[in-house]
Amino acid sequence: MKHLSLERDQYRIVTMRILFCFGVLTSLLLVGCMRSLRPEFVDVASPLHSAQISVIAADEEIVRLRISGPNEPVFLAIVEPEIIANGLYLFPQYISKPTVSEHVDIPVVELDLPAKWRDRIYWVEGESIPRWYQVFKRRVQTIERRRLELPDPDGETLGG
């Protein structure tokens, strides 16, 4: 009987060690997945995937864009603005049906716009983040961006 008790104790010790190791690995995986991503920017000079975008006007309420594709329809559904590193980033969401309008108004009134944000308006051409299971890959959000220039102050305004 003493022999069976000894085997049972060893079995419990091995089981507890396996459960402990599994718990540690699960914790590390969850911490890696929940850790915030650090943005890394890649500047592009010309459109990679999208149409030609230009800013018509911008104030503290609305940024108005002109969209022009190279003789092709534009498949833009909505543009989501976000403040990242003191810049205004415009994230496009595309659809399968072409857009009829060549002007897009993006409301920015609810954003906490930084100082001199008009000098830092970026169109996001693409972004990538590591998958949840890529635990050993750097936790970086790569954003391909294109800087948008504001028109001359003597140019168009939102009212015109």
Q: Which residues of the chain are modeled with pLDDT < 50?
A: 156-160
Q: What is the DSSP letter of 118?
A: G
Amino acid 160: pLDDT: 43
Amino acid 159: pLDDT: 46
Amino acid 80: pLDDT: 93
Give CA–CA dist 88/71, Å, rounded. 28
Intra-chain end-to-end CA distance of the chain, in Å:
95
Tokens of 78: 């909505």
Pairing state between β 140-148 and 38-43: parallel
Q: What percent of the chain has pLDDT over 70?
A: 76
Amino acid 157: pLDDT: 46
Amino acid 143: pLDDT: 87
